[in-house]
Structure 1
Amino acid sequence: MASVIATQTKPSVAQCIDEWYFSSEAVRAQRNDEIRQTIRENPGYHPSGIIYAWLKKRCGAFK
C-alpha cells in the first residue's frame, strides 16, 4: 500500500520501495523478517509507524 501511495505523491520513493522490497521473493522475505523483528523489539510503537520508519530510512519521506 505504501508503494501505491508513494506512486501518487513521490514517484522516486515508490521506485526506491520497489527496488528495496520487491526486487525478488527472497529479498521480500528478508525484509519481512527484518520488519517483524523490529516490531517485536518495539512493542510500544504501532506497527504501521515502524513500517513507515523503515521506508523513510531506506527511501526518504513521502512529502
Structure 2
Amino acid sequence: MYDYKCSICGCSLDPTEKCDCQMTHERNLQMVDDLLVEEADGQMKLKEAANYGTYPWLR
C-alpha cells in the first residue's frame, strides 16, 4: 500500500495523484468575495441584500 499524503490537508493520495485542496480553498474564498460585502462597521452583508434591500419580494 502506498503512503502518499498531502502535506497541507493530510489527504491520502494515489502515487500520481495531486491534491486540489489549495485550489478548492482559493475557489471558496473567491465565492465568498463574490457573495459578501463588508460594511463600514465590519459587518458582512450579502451583496444582493446591499444592492436590492432585504427581502425585496415581500414589498
Same fold (TM over 0.5): no
Query: Whose helix proportion is higher, 1 or 2?
Result: 1
TM superposition score normalised by structure 1: 0.30
Structure with the greater alpha carbon radius of gyration = 2
Higher relative contact order, structure no. (Cα contacts within 8 Å, ≥ 6 residues apart):
1
